[in-house]
Each structure stands twice: as C-alpha cells, then as structure tokens.
Amino acid sequence: MTQRALDSSGEQTPGSPRPAMIDAGSELDPVHPMEPPASERGPTGLTTAEVAERVARGEVNDVPARSSRSVGEIVRANVFTRFNLIIGVLWVIMLFVAPIQDSLFGYVIVANTGIGVFQEWRAKKTLDGLAVIGEAKPTVRRDGAAAEVSTSEIVLGDLVELGPGDKVVVDGTVAEADGLEIDESLLTGEADPVVKRPGDPVMSGSFVVAGGGAFTATKVGREAYAAQLAEEASRFTLVHSELRSGISTILKYVTWMMVPTALGLIISQLVVKENNFKDSIARTVGGIVPMIPEGLVLLTSVAFAIGVVRLGQKQCLVQELPAIEGLARVDVVCLDKTGTLTEGGMDVTEVRPLEGADPAYVERVLRAFGSSDPRPNASLRAIVDAYPADGGEDGGGWTVTGALPFSSARKYSGASFDESAAGDAADASSAWLLGAPDVLLADADPALAEIEQLNEQGLRVLLLARARGGLDEPDAAEGAVPTALVVLEQRLRPDAGETLAYFAEQDVAAKVISGDNAVSVGAVAGKLGLAGAENTLDARRLPADPDEMATAMERNAVFGRVTPQQKRDMVAALQSRGHTVAMTGDGVNDVLALKDANIGVSMGSGSEATRAVAQIVLLNNSFATLPSVVAEGRRVIGNITRVATLFLTKTVYSVLLAILVVCFQVEYPFLPRHLTLLSTLTIGVPAFFLALAPNKERARPYFVRRVMRYAVPSGVIAAAATFATYLIARHAYSGAGALEAETSAATLTLFLVSLWVLAIIARPYTWWRVALVAAMGLAFLVVLVVPWLQDFFALKLVGAPMPWTAVGIAVAAGVALEFAWRWVGRRFGA
C-alpha cells in the first residue's frame, strides 16, 4: 500500500509515512529506539487453516461494498415515483378511451425511465469498479508472513499490521506497538492523537498518525464500531443536495396546484359541457398530463449519472453523487504544494556547512540520518539518494539509538547516534535535528538572510542542527547548534500552470496552503503563474480572530508554516465569508480540513483516512484532473437549471390553461397527442441535449427561486397567448371540424411561444444550439405539411387569416417574453 507523508518541512509527499498531529514537547512526542518492522517480529498471526475455519463460520468482515446500490434499488427509485404512478393510471385510461396517438405520452415516459435506469446502472458499474481500484488493502500477518488483503477478507482474530496513515478497518486490541499513535477524531471529535500500547483497544474508523504496530481483530463486519456509519456515509446516493431538494420542493407545489385544477377540469369537461364521454376524458387527460414535470427528475438523474461516468473515465472516483453538484458551487480551492503544484520527488542541489563545520563530517551525519528511517519521506529520500549509506544500515558505522517522529506542528524530526562503533571517540553520542530553518533558528540568526534568498528562488531549505540535549527533552530544538543548510530543488508538475490558469479563468480563487516556508512556496506558485503569488503570509503570524483570519485569507494567496488545526480554521474562516471551499489533501494532517470543507478532494495514493472522508478521490494523483471535476459539476447544475425552466414553464401554462378553461366553460383545446408533440419538440429532445452540453457558468444559490422567476412569467405569457388564439378561433370557425381547426390554431401559437422560450434558454448561441432550435421548428413544420402526420396528430390549419393571427399573437408573446426575461435579469441579477 502506497503511503504519503509530510516531509521535514511540512509538506505531504508520496511514498512515505505520515507524521503525528501533535505539538512539540507534548507527552505525545515519543522518542523510540529503532526496532525491526512489525512484520519481522512478534506473533505469526493466524494459520491458513484457522482462516478457513473462520470463513466457514462467517466470521468475516463482510461490510457491503461502498458506493453501490443494487440494480433492484435503481429500478425502484426510477420507476416507482409519485408522478409515474399518476401518469401510469392516465395512460391505462387513455388506452381504453382514445386512439393510440393520444397514448404516446405513456411510451415517452417508459423510454425516459429506461434511459434513467440504464444511465444510473452505468454509473453504478463505474463507481463499483473505481471503488475497488481506490480501496486500500490492509496488511495482515498469516503463517508468519505479511500479505495485503482486501478489507472484506479480514477474519476474526487476524493480526493486522499498522503504519503511519493506515486506517483501522475493524475493531481490535493492540498486540504490538512501536511509538504507535492513533487519531480517533472521526469517532470522538477529539483531534489529539492517542498513544497506544499492547492491550489497548483500537476502533474502526480511527487512523495511525505516527509509529507502527499490529492489532488483533476482535470485531469484524457489521459488529465493528464504525461499520454501519461507514456504510451509510459512502452509499451511492442521489439526495441531500440543493438541486435535488429544490426539485422536490417544486414537485410538492406542483402537486398542490395540480389536484384542485385537475378536479375542476374533470368536472368542467364531463359535467358542465356534456361532451362525448371519451372525447371529454381524452381532453381532461390532455390537460392533466402536461402539468407534471416528470422528465425533470429523470433528466437530473441522467445528468448526475453521466457525470459520474465521465469522471470515472478520467480516474476520478465520486464517492457521493451530490459532490458533482457541490463542485459547481466552489469559488475557493485550497491546495497543497507537494503532490499538487510539485511532484513528490526532490533533488539535493547543494549542502552549505555553517559556522566552520567540517564538510566531511556533515556528510557522515546526513548518511546516518538518511538510514535512520526505514521509510523516508521525500526530503529524506533526496538526501539518501545524494548521500547513500556506505557502511550498511548503520550509516557508515554509526548506530542509530533513537528517533523523533516528524510533527506537522513541530516542523522537524530527529535522530540520535552512537558514533563510538565507527571509532569517532571525540563524542561517542550525538543527537541531530533536521527541519525548517525558520523554526530551528533564532529570529536574528544571520543565516536567515541567506535562506531567504534561496527561498525566493523557489528552493526548499532544510537545516541540519545538533541538539544540545537529548531528543526526549521537552523542547529538543532549544539551543540547537546550526551545522549545515541542505538545499533541495522541487520538481514542478508540468500541468500545474494550466490548472491554475483554468481556476483563474473560472473565477475560482486558489489558495496554496503549505507547511513549507511561505516565501519558497510563493516562488514556486509564481513560477506556475498563480495570480497573487507574491501575496504570501507565514501562518505563525495569522490572526487568531476568525474575522481577521478571514480577511487575511481573502487578501493573500500563499500561506506557509501552516499547522493541521490552522488548515481547519482557514476553511472555516473562508466559509464564514460565504465562500464555498474545496480542499485537497492526502495526509492525515488534512483529514479535519477535508471533513469541514464543502468538498474534500483526496489523492488516490493518499492515506486511507483522507480517502475515507473525501467526496472526490483522484485515483491518478493528478492535480490536473480537478478542472475536469469542477467543469463537470458546473455543467450539471448549470444545465439542469436551464432545462428546469423549460419543464416548469410547461407546468405553469398547463395549470393556467386548465383554470381558464374552467372559468370560461369551454372545451379544453388540446388532446394528449398535441401536448406530447409539443413537449417532445420544445422540451424533451432539446432538454436532453442541453443537459449534457458544456457549461462553464458558476452556479448560484437559490435554485427554486431562480428557476421560478423565469418559468412563471414565461408560463403566464404562453398560456395567455394560447388561450387568446383559442378564443379568437372559436369565433372564426363553426360547423363540422371547427374544434380541430381551433385546436390547430392554438397549438401553432403554443408551439411558437414554447420554441421562443427554448431559443432564449439555448443562449448563448453556438452552431449546434441554433441547429437544435431550427430542427425542432422544422420538425413541427413537417407535421403541418405531411398529410398522414396531420391526420395522426389531428392538426390541420384552415384558411389563412386564423393561422396568421396565431403567428402574430405568438410574435407579440415572444416580444413580451424578451421583455420579461430582461426585466428579471436586471431586477434580480439572475
């Protein structure tokens, strides 16, 4: 399992353990002797036969796979809806009382539901496949050998090994501990790590922040403490988002309007007018069906599902579908430097001895320091590569006697050595610190000016200092003697500049939050073209007051020497100013900030803990994937807002037409076939294309309010124009076939007005949007001129005056639509 860690200056890097989130000098800063890895000592774990016995007894960690719901659940969610029930009943009625063309709306619903089920099934397959790829595999010890297994293969009594950043996947009891510290904040809310010793309990859902060890599984599967919470939190879901809750609110209001209106329409058509029974039923159903924006729910599901599939193709795991929508609302993204702006690897470019230190001796110290950690982070790996140990694991004859784990709050690590074995009798023992110069040096130290110049070039500088006392003292860095500067050069990600440019273009502010020196981070960000990279701030000078912190966050773009708790406070400060924040991270020090951010984004090779709390996991570890994620979110919510206006406009004019029919005591002007044709050409087909089209507009809040501001005036204008044409046509035509002629004239007006609404919503125009609107108009024209289609849809324009009158009324309505939309835009800025 790939690990990630903070390096000695505070940055997270791949390929190494994660540090503890603890303050320097606390009792949770253990100095522990170097011991062999857990896999090379202690109990041998279960035997193969014992594992088989437990599997046979069902003592397996059989927690359901996350992100997946069954095909049956998908079908039920898409088929058994309130409005599908209403439409289904009306469809059955129409099959008995009217020609097949008046039942077309039922077949359209079947097709739409089928598309929704298929697309969500595709999303399920994508999510399930990506969840398997992104799932960390814990290491268990069986038959004396360590092996990685899937989480579901752990059995009761298994000996599970732990390393920095590993998540505890089942409950158990510590069997071995080597400076083991576990963060239980996800369970208890307490951020301080807890030191674990043999015999202590560990709980699923917690994670290791320092040290290592092993524990014996005592509760697996659904009995584990966090299993049920994890299952519920990671379930494939389509709820709990402003978009979907807004649609639910709309549907609730539609139901309230629809019931009394439909009852009035039924009474009007069946009792008052005393029409032919079957014809009255058909026209009543024709008035009820278009009130239901049934396709809106399905289209939203399809848009979400297709978004998941698209992102899945880019190795992006969306653990909760609403995260796609949440990304559309992000206006600030907080970034790590290492792993995002820079690649994990670094190179040592220079070592500068200080205060007359012997270069050869400094080299020996670095060789020994490099061999003190069996799993070096990026900074230490660069030192190891530059100064490999030439005398075996003891670093050239020096014996490692102790190690001080790296802490994000402390900003340095340490190691102590016995030099006597190598014949260095001048000082048989020594303790060394390696970390951030501005933390280890006094404020007035002359070396800081030299370091500042290097930082301004975007170089990372570590200080090697000799501790005056032991590593176990309360403040090991106090009085440390500077010995050498280790200058490291970071490797910039080739695509990071383009990614930052994308965020700037989309009005998303990028904030680089790093544990490294602020000037150095700013120089790196400046090389990549980050706007405001020169505005840097050392987080140690960050105001504690939340309001002042928020002001500082908005004014500056780069922050250095940031502690894990400060990351969390920074997210809260930005949110207090109304910002929607996305946070990227990969180490355990990012967990709390990821939890609090509106959207948490984790790297696929990050710790299991960060992947567990993040809504988005970038399995390819590429920061360049984020623009695709943000773009997908904006596409979904922006396009659904557009098409929702189409659907709601139809609902409004359908309800108003029904009310006008009841009030004027006339026949309802349309049969179901007419409105099926209109809905297909002005809503159904165009909405499908518009919902999947590119859309870079940043989403705004108050979805329901914004949609109704346009849908209500559009629906009122459409209803008024259509009913006016219908009343005029009733006076213009008489005798046999009059009702069909009246309906045809009203249908022409309603189609033209609805097409005008579509043309407004399709803006800004591109060639395909213009072609889409034109194709819909051409399709309706074909229906009007082809004889068999005229008969099929019962549409036949009679004479010239009335059809041109219908066109004239539609043009007047179009002008009113333009005025209404512009007024709403100016009045509400929407």
Q: List pLDDT tens digits, range 326-347.
A: 777 788 999 877 667 777 677 8
CB 179 within 8 A of CB 30: yes
Predicted local confidence at residue 4, as pLDDT: 35
Q: Residue 249 is encoded by which pair of tokens?
A: 């609110």
% residues pLDDT > 70 (the chain): 83
Could you tell me if 550 and 573 are in contact, meaning their C-beta atoms sit under 8 angstroms apart? yes
Q: Is the pLDDT of residue 630 over 90?
A: no
At 227, is the pLDDT very low, low, confident or very high (cuts 50, 70, 90)? low
- Class of the CATH-defined domain 32-234: mainly beta
Question: What six digits make up the tokens of 515?
Answer: 């544990």
- pLDDT band at residue 636 using 50, 70 and 90 as cut-offs: confident
Catalytic option among 102, 183, 336, 394: 336
- Separation CA 679–CA 677 (nearest Å): 6
The tokens describing 436, both together, are 């951030």
Structure confidence at residue 272 (pLDDT): 59
The percent of residues in the chain predicted with pLDDT above 90, rounded, is 18
Q: Which of 93-107, 313-327, 336-350, 769-783 has the highest mean pLDDT?
A: 769-783
Q: Average of pLDDT values for 395-420?
A: 72
**Per-residue confidence (pLDDT) for residue 332, from 0 to 100:** 92
**Mean pLDDT for the chain?**
79
Average pLDDT over residues 346-359: 84
Most confident of 2-6, 105-109, 230-234, 367-371: 367-371
Q: Which range has highest mean pLDDT (124-128, 544-548, 755-759)?
A: 755-759
Write down the domain spans for the chain.
32-234, 240-290+632-828, 319-340+493-621, 348-490
**Edge-to-edge strands, sheet with 342-353:** 342-353, 481-492, 460-466, 429-435, 412-418, 399-404
Highest-confidence segment of 48-57, 302-311, 731-740, 777-786:
777-786
At 394 the pLDDT is: 42
Task: Please report the pLDDT score of residue 13 as a whole number.
Answer: 38
pLDDT band at 406 (very low <50, low <70, confident <90, very high): low
Per-residue pLDDT, 589: 65
Phi/psi for 749 (5° steps) reads -60, -45
- Cβ partners under 8 Å of residue 541, min gap 6: none
Residue 10 in this model has a pLDDT that exceeds 50: no
Distance CA 340, CA 617 (A): 14
pLDDT for residue 135 is more than 80 = no
Looking at residue 138, what is its pLDDT? 87
Which pLDDT score, from 0 to 100, does residue 474 have? 67
**Lowest-confidence region among 466-480, 652-666, 734-748:** 466-480
Let me know: does 686 contact 758? Beta carbons within 8 Å.
yes
Q: What is the mean pLDDT of residues 507-523?
A: 85
pLDDT at 778: 97
**Per-residue pLDDT at 237 exceeds 50:** no
Show Cβ contacts of residue 15 under 8 Å, excluding neighbours closer than 6 positions: 2, 3, 4, 5, 344, 377, 378, 381
Residues 542-586: tens digit of each pLDDT: 888 889 999 999 999 999 888 877 888 999 999 999 898 988 877
Calculate mean pLDDT across residues 763-775: 93
> How far apart are the C-alpha atoms of 759 and 651, rounded to whole Å?
18
The average pLDDT across 800-823 equals 94
Query: How far, rounded to the nearest angstrom, does the alpha carbon of residue 481 sit from its chain's CA centroid?
Result: 47
Confidence of residue 740 (pLDDT cuts 50, 70, 90): confident
What class has domain 319-340+493-621? alpha beta
pLDDT mean over 56-67? 71
> Which stretch of DSSP H or E encloses residue 487?
strand 481-492
Average pLDDT rounded to a whole number, residues 70-90: 77
Least confident of 252-256, 398-402, 424-428, 722-726: 424-428
The stretch 605-617 carries a mean pLDDT of 73
Mean pLDDT value of segment 221-231: 60
User: Considering the domain 348-490, what is its CATH architecture?
Assistant: 3-Layer(aba) Sandwich (3.40)
Find the Cα–Cα–Cα–Cα dihedral 473, 479, 483, 488, rounded to 10°. 70
Side chain identity at 584, as an amino acid letter?
T
pTM for this predicted structure = 0.63
CA distance 718 to 613: 48
Please give the residue that has the higher pLDDT: either 43 or 172: 172
State the average pLDDT over residues 115-131.
Answer: 70
The distance in angstroms from the start CA to the end CA of the chain is 49
| pLDDT score at 65 | 52
Query: Is there a catalytic annotation at residue 336?
Result: yes
Asked whether the beta carbons of 91 and 26 are under 8 A apart, the reply is no
Q: Nearest-CA neighbor of 646 among 541, 776, 745, 771?
A: 776
Average pLDDT over residues 40-44: 57
pLDDT of residue 724: 96
Least confident of 132-141, 652-661, 804-813: 132-141
* CATH class (in words) of the domain with range 240-290+632-828: mainly alpha
- Region 222-245 average pLDDT: 56
Lowest mean pLDDT, pick from 246-260, 371-385, 669-683: 371-385
E strand or H helix at 600, and its extent?
Answer: strand 599-603
User: How much is the pLDDT for 502?
Assistant: 87
Cα dist from 738 to 278, 741, 788, whole Å: 18, 5, 20
CA neighbours within 13 Å on the CB side: how many for 192?
Answer: 8
